[in-house]
Structure 1
């Protein structure tokens, strides 16, 4: 039986026949596919097609899968760069026909909310699955209900766009969730508030964490203790990091300004390590240069997800996260697995993680708040060391494998009810 996964993440069919996507997601698929056996002996991904230019620019740090060896197959949908109105006018029909064909061959359809109302291919796949009496799994990995207010506050959208999004698009997104609660077999919502607001106590509506790290990537205990010992001597620099895409909504410019401010206020041995690539890279490098911070802010480019990536993370002391809209990155869990606590803006996701003992939040968009905490931990190192240990403890109970086992149990239960 085939497991169909419909995602907005772009995929690419490489010249050698392999399929390519973001490296952490590729590793997640490679790990998860065999775990669904024997009920599902293969997986199919239906996804937008990555552009040739993007693949060529990023192929060295993308993950690659073999359809024959990994038993993960690709159905290419529309080009990812297709505009919203072009999709709504011309592209929806061939895309929907491809989805219908994929659903016919599947035993289960797994997809998420169509955040872009004019490109609703994800929710359509679930609707098609429901009509064909397939088991369906509906997923939300970001609670975006407050994002439009945040975007308006930052000036990212006009007042007209704000009104359309808040009073037209948001209700249509909520309608998708309400339909899914009534019609889909299982809902996995990455937010307890979503579960509370839409689940109504129904047992098939679950809260979940979407994580990417495996137990072998956990920082070895001796390396954690060595890092803490060196850090608490007070001589070592405070090594901060950001890793992920370099795009505006991640707020990396806030991180750079906060580190610069902390450095100017006395945290002389502080260093920010930025791992990742994206459209904002040149702008961020220019900002670091403009602030005269090039000596203590380093850009490494993209580092593929895996053991080399984690080995680099093990040396860092604090992850910075300053999103200017709602965000639920897997980097938070990767960091805790590497013995790195979090310093973040107080968006819902990071506020939810404060219970781990490894996450500190400051008021949203407060550069001064970030700088204050950097200075505090620079001068009160044992406090940060305790958070390093707390993060590792939490990560041990929340690896990718453990969450996959829970997801597999929930999925198998859907079929066992019919037996």
Structure 2
């Protein structure tokens, strides 16, 4: 679902702080920038940041709750915005035909614009092992079909994992590229010395608990029920398992109820949320491992967050996670949805902390090669190549200064 902009009573615009951080990096290489997104006329929620950047021109679309009833207004605004642009940047995933992303892609095709699609998630897909009726299966098939159409006709398609590329790019062979999602900054990366000091402080012996963190949305798609079942099934020797959970969502009450139950195999705590930034990374570095039991197949950014602190990951074997985690090298994997397998992995990790430390150091090496700025630098190079192929700019290197285009 597109991220909305909030318009307060004073006429100030607000965006989610993390989303705005990513948006600002786009502005380093996309000039004359227009942002078309839902506008919600109310005070911003916690975690929002005021937008005060003259480089951004806003096109205010009806908010999510009114886009169906105001379809023609949404279409009119997008048609005009697309017509004024050289490059149209959009995603896929939310429902058609009223989705603003699908409308933008259709209008870009009809008007001969450069179309750039970024595929970071696939919320329309059914999760393996979960029951689904005929309506849900039909909706997923239609969304997948439309998604493939947009990817195949896009001038440039960027995917956060290889499985998205293989399954959605079914015709063209020249427009798809895989770049993992990472929002870590250079100053988030620990030094090599600090990683080794942290490793010694965490404790390699069984007399200290195995400290594991889950940080993410508390939903079924993130595997929260699987995690709780695994915790209840885990019985460790020594000091046991210390599992901390951070996040919000539909499964929060279940997590809180589980934390109140006595369990001889360890302790579960539900912690207050920590803002993304120095405080969050300081928290991360305290743990022996980060657990990511996702059922859905996107590539969570938390993997690279953990790598930046020299912390290995224990992850389910979804396509998105297998694309950025090597079993036995940067973390360990278990079968998606298998709570018993995750419990067994907790037992293994409890007695192999030296291996966890080595995996964390390898993950840190990987994180050094994909910071948030490096991710955008790769996308920038791809955009320049795409514009050059369309004859809109000279090939990169021939005239480096001529890369500004409307988007």
**Residues 279, 48 of structure 1: CA spacing in aligned structure 2 closer, same or farther, 3 A cutoff?**
farther
CA–CA separation in structure 2 for the residues paired with 1:21 and 1:237: 40
Distance between the aligned counterparts of 1:338 and 1:359, measured in 2? 13
- The alignment of Structure 1 onto Structure 2 pairs a total of residues equal to 388
Are 2:62 and 1:62 aligned? no
1:53-73 per-residue CA deviation (whole Å, 9 max, x = no partner) reads xx66x41x23443233xx334
Matched, 1:94 2:73: yes
Q: Is the 8 A contact 1:238 1:271 kept in 2?
A: yes
Helix, strand or coil for the counterpart of 1:355? Answer: coil
- Contact map agreement 1:143 1:191 (CA 8 A) in 2: no
Tell whether the 8 Å contact from 1:11 to 1:50 is kept in structure 2 after alignment: yes
Aligned ranges 1:8-87 → 2 under 5 Å: 8-15=2-9, 17-33=11-27, 35-36=28-29, 40-50=30-40, 52=42, 58-59=45-46, 61-68=47-54, 71-82=55-66, 87=67
The alpha carbon displacement at 1:372 in A equals: 0.9
Q: CA deviation at 1:298?
A: 2.3
Contact 1:109 1:135 in 2 (8 A): yes
Rounded Cα–Cα distance in structure 1 between residues aligned with 2:116 and 2:101: 11
In 1, Cα distance between the equivalents of 2:53 and 2:103? 25
Shift of 1:119: 3.1
Q: How far apart are residue 23 of structure 1 and its match?
A: 3.0
The residue number in structure 2 matching 1:227 is: 198
CA root-mean-square deviation = 2.7
Quote the residue 2:175 is aligned against.
204
Contact 2:240–2:266 (Cα < 8 Å) also in 1: no
* Cα distance between partner residues in 2 of 1:103 and 1:385: 50
Aligned to 1:266: 237
User: Separation in 2 of the partners of 1:260 and 1:362?
Assistant: 17
Q: Secondary structure at the match of 1:299?
A: strand
Kept in 2, the 8 Å contact 1:117–1:172? The answer is yes
Instruction: Name whichever of 128-137 and 14-23 sits farther off.
Output: 14-23
Q: Give the TM-score of the pair, scaled to structure 2.
A: 0.86
- Match for residue 380 of structure 1? 352
Q: Are the structure 2 counterparts of residues 267 and 201 from structure 1 closer, same or farther at C-alpha, using a change threshold of 3 Å? A: farther
| Cα distance change on mapping 1:329 and 1:120 into 2, 3 Å | same
Q: Which residue of 1 aligns with 2:126?
A: 148
Offset of residue 122 of structure 1: 0.2
Which residue is 2:403 aligned to?
Answer: none
Q: Distance in 1 between matches of 2:40 and 2:228?
A: 31
Query: More relative contact order in 1 or in 2 (CA 8 Å, sep 6+)?
Result: 2
- Quick check: which one's helix share is greater? 1
TM-score between both structures, scaled by the size of structure 1: 0.83
- How far apart are residue 409 of structure 1 and its match? 0.9
Contact 2:246 2:272 in 1 (8 A): yes
Structure 1, gaps ≥5 residues long? 1-6
Following the alignment from structure 2 to structure 1, what is the Cα–Cα distance between the partners of residues 15 and 80?
Answer: 22
Change (3 A) 1:114 1:385: closer
Kindly state the Cα deviation for residue 397 of structure 1 after the two structures are TM-superposed: 0.8
Whole-Å separation in 1 of the counterparts to 2:267 and 2:180: 33
Stretch of structure 1 that moved more, 272-281 or 184-193: 272-281
